[in-house]
Amino acid sequence: MFNRQNIHTWSLDNPRYAVEVRHQLYWSINVWCRIFNDRLIEPGFYEGTLTGQRYLELMQDVITNFVENLPLHQLSNAGFQLGGFPPHKISSVKQYLMETSQNQDIGYDGFVEWPPRSPDLTPLDFFSWGHIKRQVYATPPQTLQDLRRRITDACTSVTPAMLHNVQREIQSRVQMCIVANGEHFEQYK
C-alpha cells in the first residue's frame, strides 16, 4: 500500500536522515517531444489543460513546419505515433493527420493500429521520458524556467547512437511482445 500523503523513511544507518520536501513550490508544464530517425527533436512546451482544440493547434503549428521542411523521400517513411490520450482521438486531429501524414499515423484508430496503453513498445515511453526525468530531477529544479531549461538540455543530450540503440531495442521488444502473446512483458526484461 502506498499513501502519497504520508511517506516515512526510517533509517537504521543514519537516524538523522531527512528528506527535504518542497510543498510550497509547484509548477505544471506539459512537454511534447518527437523522435525522427536519429534525433530527438527539441521539445514543445504548453501550459494549461490540453484540450482537443489546443492539441490540434499545436499539431498544426509544429507538424506543418516539420513536414514542409522534410524532403519528400523522408516524409514517405515518417510515421506519427499518438497514444490513446483523449485529445489525440478527436476527429479534427485525426483528419489533420490523415491529410498531413499521407496516412502514416500510428495509434488508436490510426492507419496503422497500435495497442493502447503499450509503453513497453513506444520509444518515448520506454526510453525518452525516463532519460529526460533522470537528468531533470537529479537535483530539484528551482524555478519554472530552470525546469524548462533542464528539459531542453536533457533532450539535446540524446545522441544519434542512443537512438540507434532504441531502434534495435524496439525490434527486441516486439519479439518479446509476440512471445508474451501481446501481454505486458516489461517485468521479464
Could you report the per-residue pLDDT of 162-184, keeping only the tens digit for each? Answer: 999 999 998 898 888 888 887 77
Between the alpha carbon of residue 18 and those of residues 21, 24, 162, the distances in Å are: 9, 18, 36
Residue pair 141/150 in contact by the 8 Å Cβ criterion: yes
Residue 141 has pLDDT above 80, yes or no: yes
Helix ranges (DSSP H) in 25-159? 52-68, 72-75, 91-100, 123, 129-136, 144-156
Length, in residues, of the chain: 189
Identity of residue 120: D
Residues forming beta bridges with residue 31, ordered by sequence position: 45
pLDDT tens digit sequence for 54-89: 889 988 887 777 778 778 777 777 777 777 778 888
* C-alpha closest to that of 87 among 42, 129, 32, 137: 32
pLDDT tens digit sequence for 18-36: 666 555 567 778 888 888 8
List the chain domain ranges.
19-48+118-183, 50-117
Other Cβ atoms less than 10 A from the Cβ of 130: the count is: 11
Q: What is the pTM of this model?
A: 0.75
